Chain A
Amino acid sequence: MLRLAAVGDVHVGADSVGHLREGFATLAEQADVLLLAGDLTKRGELGEADVLAGELRDLPVPIVAVLGNHDHESDQQRVLTQRLLDVGVRVLEGSATVLEIAGVRLGIAGGKGFAGGFVGACATAFGEREMKVFANASMLTAAAMESALGSLDTDVRVLLMHYAPIRGTLHGESPELYPLLGSYLFAELADRCGVDLIVHGHAHGGTEKGATPRGIPVRNVAQPVLRRPYAVYGVEPGRHASQQADRRADAPVG
């Protein structure tokens, strides 16, 4: 069984040197890999990127991260990404990576994701240019994420994002905010492709546990939700393969 530690929304700043690292003190005993679900910094400034890199440098497990909306605030996301790469963190944006852990191949696809809403209350790419740009952003992001996921032929597949893919993990947030907190497109693509686990952050007032319509577990790992340094999820290889077999059995004949 793979043990995946995950946390998001840690909001590292110049005023938080050492905070994150202190929480990771026993990480190696508890997990095989660390997933970071975005909003890693307060406002995505270069000084914050340096603090974050220092917190993550030489941690004893592989780290895979996506950025969040806070990390884009200063429009320095490329530099922030490079600082993370420099200390060995794999950063995903509509891309995927593969780790081999104790003979098990773990594939992680991911990216920031975006807003747009959920079935019955969604933005549509219609009308003003601004509305089209907003709605299309989710569609383009989802298409890249699906392509990345489709590239993974691994024993375990995980979708890592910042924005939420389902309403279920938003319970506790104001319902008026839901369209700004995520998009159903990401749950739809996960159900279509088959994954073992979806991890996201962003919704500080939400709940940890939910599932897609096809039953894929979704976990909101925003630290204010977890109220612990990180969560650890155990994943047995092969779940998504059986999901795909189920889907083939469900498919109409002819």
Chain B
Amino acid sequence: MSTEADPFLAEHIHEALARDERVNAPELRVTVEHGFVHVDGVVATEDRKRAIAEVIDEGWHELTLDNRTTVADFPPDGRIEVV
């Protein structure tokens, strides 16, 4: 197992998460280090959060996924800002 950060691999995974139709999220941040792939950002649904794990498992099953993504389910706050 690698103990070093792998920025090139991280970029390949980032590209896969952008292109894969189950996810299509180029806005996610991906880092690879010590055998883990860390994915961070906001996705629109639980299905897409789960799909991140599928994409990683299909392409890079030797890595352990640390899925830090948040599903967009934000409550309104009633604020108004006068600009």
Contact = CB atoms under 8 A, between A and B. Distances in A.
Interface of A: 1, 3, 9-13, 15-16, 19, 23, 25-26, 30, 42-43, 70, 73, 196-197, 204-205, 217, 219, 223-224, 226-236
A1 B74 contact: no
Contacts of A219: 83
Q: Is the interface of B mostly helix, strand, loop or mixed?
A: loop
A249 B47 CA distance: 56
A231 B74 CA distance: 12
B5 interface: no
B42 A1 contact: no
B44 A12 contact: yes
Nearest to A1: B82
Contacts of A235: 82-83
A232 B21 contact: no
Contact of A232 (B44, B70, B80): B80
A70 B44 CA distance: 13
A223 B72 contact: yes
A11 B44 contact: yes
A64 B82 CA distance: 20
Nearest to B47: A15
A233 B81 contact: yes
A30 B76 CA distance: 10
Contacts of B80: 3, 30, 232-234
10 contacts: A10-B72, A11-B43, A13-B44, A15-B47, A70-B24, A204-B42, A223-B72, A226-B74, A232-B81, A234-B80
B44 A23 contact: no
A204 B44 CA distance: 12
A19 B24 contact: no
Contacts of A224: 27, 41-42, 70, 72
